Amino acid sequence: MVHLPDKSILDTIGNTPLVKLQKMSPNPLVDIFVKLESFSPGASIKDRIVKFIIEDAEKTGKLKKGGVIIENTSGNTGAAAAMIAAIKGYRCILTMPDKVSLEKQNALQAFGAEIIICPTSAAPGSKEHYVEKAKEIAAKTPLSFRINQYDNPLNPLAHYLSTGPEIWKQMEGNIDYFVAAASTGGTISGTSRYLKEQDPTIKVIMPDPVGSIFAEYFRTKKIPEGGSCTYFVEGIGEDHLTQAMDFDLVDDVIQVNDSKSFQAARRLAREEGILAGGSSGSNLFACLEIAQKATERTRIVTILPDSGLKYLSKIFDDEWMLKNHLMQ
């Protein structure tokens, strides 16, 4: 009897590969391992949380037949939402800042989503801010369900139940550092909580782009004025605090700028054959900083949140990099 596969694309989310970098570690004592989230069908780590949150919404009756999925996104959560909406037959409306790459915008529309572009410079809480715009649309739309990734406790829980256990198993428990940048905070919070429960000595390091409020808040526990997401790197850092982020799980923050993030991502492609996005470059930059200072055998694990194919018109385009003074 022939047994044909009965899985949908949703069954391929998660269980992504983890590989050791072969060339980029600057210290022979240090091994750097990267988790390739581009292997999920939406080509990013956000597939995990969106699937988890939508399935919970269906079970609890918050999302019903004929419903509309609404979310504010820097692109990857939107891609996951649009993909899953297409499979399940929901309408999908997404708001995003105007710095989101054209590749990301086109992918959302390819899945059939409606997108609304908002100014990146809009202040948090203002009517034109992409988060507030999503709230406004949800309030006016019948049968709407907002994923609410920034403040939804299911966001870090998804990583606690999937990303953390996967990394622990793949590394056979041999981890000294876990490195992950944050925007919603779901990845670093959920994954770190799981890893620290297995081994409290694991150090968690968060790269944060210059301009984000997270680094200063971590150090002072005060919300700085003038925080802005007008830096070029997408999907990390923030101009407001989020309920999905647990700073108590973070041991240190390393600030990083656009140039260092993008140069690390470009090196990753050319030296390791791994095409990943700018936030992956931020994570990798922090790994290299840690590696340079290590004086004993060290294993660092980090996340590569998405594919570099989403940024071909930006960080992998020499002309764009030169125009924005990002080439070294």
Q: Which residues are catalytic?
A: 46
Neighbour tally for 67: CB within 10 Å: 22
Q: Residue 318 to residues 98, 118, 285, 290, 328: CA-CA distances in angstroms?
A: 21, 27, 20, 28, 11
Backbone phi, psi, residue 168, to 5°: -60, -45
Concatenating the DSSP letter of every residue in 105-133 gives HHHHHHTT-EEEEE-TTPPTTSTTSHHHH
What is the C-alpha separation between 280 and 265, in angstroms, rounded? 7
Residues in Cβ contact with 184 at an 8 Å cutoff, skipping those fewer than 6 apart? 149, 150, 155, 242, 244, 245
Angstrom CA distances, 194 to 38, 140, 169, 207, stand at: 22, 38, 12, 19
Question: Do residues 89 and 128 lie in contact, with contact meaning Cβ atoms separated by under 8 Å?
Answer: no
Beta-strand (E) ranges in the chain?
Answer: 18-20, 30-36, 68-72, 91-97, 114-118, 144-146, 177-179, 203-209, 252-256, 298-304
Taking alpha carbons only, the member of 249, 228, 290, 284 closest to residue 160 is 249
Phi/psi-derived region of residue 104, left when phi > 0, alpha when psi is between -120 and 50, beta in every other case: alpha
CA distance 220 to 138: 35
Distances, alpha carbon 253 to alpha carbons 210, 279, 286, in Å: 11, 15, 9
User: Are 138 and 70 a contacting pair, CB within 8 Å?
Assistant: yes
- Interatomic CA distance for residues 151 and 148, integer angstroms: 6
